[in-house]
Structure 1
C-alpha cells in the first residue's frame, strides 16, 4: 500500500510540476538559421520569392511527398500563396506578405487550429555570393502552446538546415 501511495504522490508531483513550469515558459518563440550560398542574389531570392520554385527545396515537401499543394493566383512576390494538405504535414497556408527584392521576404503561416506564425528571409550580399538567413517566429496563443515554443528549436531546426542546404545546392547548380 505504501508503494502505491508513493507512486501516486510522485505522479501527482510530476503533473503539478509540469503545470507550474508552463507559466514560466516564454510566450514568444522562434529559431534562425543562416547559410552562405555562392550564387547571385537575384537567383537565390527568386527561388524563395516564387512559391512554386520553393517546392524544389522545401524540406517538408521531401518529408511528405503525398501532400497536395494548391497555389494561389499569384506565384511570386507580395500576395503569392499556397495551401498544403498532407498525411504527415497536416494543412496550412503560406502567404508572402512582404517582399523587398534581393533583400527581405516575410511569410505569414496559418496552420488553422494549430496557430499562426511568421517566417522571415534576409539576403545579405557577400563576396561571390549571399548569406541567406531564414527565421521563424510565433506567439503562444494558449498555455500549452508554450510547450510547443520550447520545442521549436529541436523540432524545426533540422528542417531549416535541410531546406537551406537544398536551396544552396539548387542555387549553386
Structure 2
C-alpha cells in the first residue's frame, strides 16, 4: 500500500512539473537551417515555386513514397498549393504565399491537429553558389503543446537538413 501511495505521489509530482513547466515555456517556435548550393539562384529557385518542384526534393515524400498528394490552386507561384495524406507523416496542406523569382518563396503550412505555421526559403548569391536558408515559425497555442515548441528545432531541424541536402544534390547535378 505504501508503494502505491508513493507511485501516485510521484505521478502527481510529474504531472505538476509538466504543467508548471509548460506555463514557463513560450508557445512560439522558429526552426532555421542553411546550406550553400554550388548553383545559380535561378537553378535552385526552379525547384521551389511549385508543388512538383517540392516533390523532387522534399524529405517527407521520401519518407513515405505511398503519400497521397493532391495539387490545389495554381500549378506554380503564389497560390500553388497541395494537400497530402500519409500514415507515417500525417495529413496536411501547404500553400505558397509569396514568390520573388530567384530570391524567396514563402509558404503557409497546416498539419492536421496543429496550428498553422509560416515559412520561407530565401536564396542569397554567395561566392561559389547560392546560400539557401529555410526558416519556419509558428505558435503551438495550447499550454501543454508548448513542450512541442521547446523541442521543435530538434524535431523538425533534421528534416530541414535532409531536405536541403536533397535540394543541393538536385540543383548541383543539373
TM-score (norm 2): 0.94
Within-5 A mapping of 1:80-99: 80-99=80-99
Count of matched residue positions in the alignment of Structure 1 and Structure 2: 173
Q: Distance in 2 between matches of 1:30 and 1:169?
A: 25
Structure 2, gaps ≥5 residues long = none
Structure 1, gaps ≥5 residues long = none
CA contact (8 A) 2:123 2:132 kept: yes
CA contact (8 A) 2:90 2:112 kept: no
Partner in structure 1 of residue 109 of structure 2 = 109
1:91-115 superposed Cα distances (whole Å, 9 cap, x missing partner): 1111000111111111001224322
Q: Distance in 1 between matches of 2:16 and 2:144?
A: 14
The answer as to 2:150 corresponding to 1:154 is: no
Q: Distance in 1 between matches of 2:35 and 2:43?
A: 15
1:35-66 superposed Cα distances (whole Å, 9 cap, x missing partner): 00000100101111122111011000000111
Question: Runs (4+) of structure 1 moved beyond 3 Å?
Answer: none
